[in-house]
Amino acid sequence: MFDKIWQFLKQLFQRIFGTNRPPPTPQQPPTLTDAEFEAKLMELLEGVNGGWGSGDVKGFLIAKRLRDTELADWLRRFGERLLAIDRETTEEGGRGNTCSTDSVSSLQELARRLELLRGICGGELGEAAGNVGREILVKFPISPVGDGEGEGEVDGEAEVWRKRGNEQFKLGNFEEAIASYEKALEVKPDYDVAWFNRGIALRNLGKLEEAIASYDKALEIKPDDHEAWYNRGVALV
Distance (Å, whole) CA 170 – CA 50: 29
- In this structure, of 63-72, 84-93, 123-132, 214-223, the range with the lowest mean pLDDT score is 84-93
Q: 186 phi and psi, to 5 degrees?
A: -65, -35
Residue 215: what residue type? Answer: Y
pLDDT in tens, 137-179: 777 766 777 654 334 456 689 999 999 999 998 888 889 999 9
Read off the pTM: 0.61
Distance (Å, whole) CA 27 – CA 64: 23
Distance (Å, whole) CA 113 – CA 208: 11
23-32 CB contacts, 8 Å cutoff, 24+ apart:
31/70, 32/66, 32/70, 32/74
- Whether CATH 3.40.50.10310 fits 157-236: no
Every domain of the chain and the residues it spans: 2-139, 157-236
Average pLDDT rounded to a whole number, residues 3-16: 67
- In this structure, of 11-25, 73-87, 193-207, the range with the lowest mean pLDDT score is 11-25
Whether the CB-CB separation of 140 and 229 falls below 8 Å is answered with no
pLDDT of residue 146: 63
Q: What percent of the chain has pLDDT over 90?
A: 40
Question: DSSP state, 69?
Answer: H
Name the more confident of 32 and 128: 128
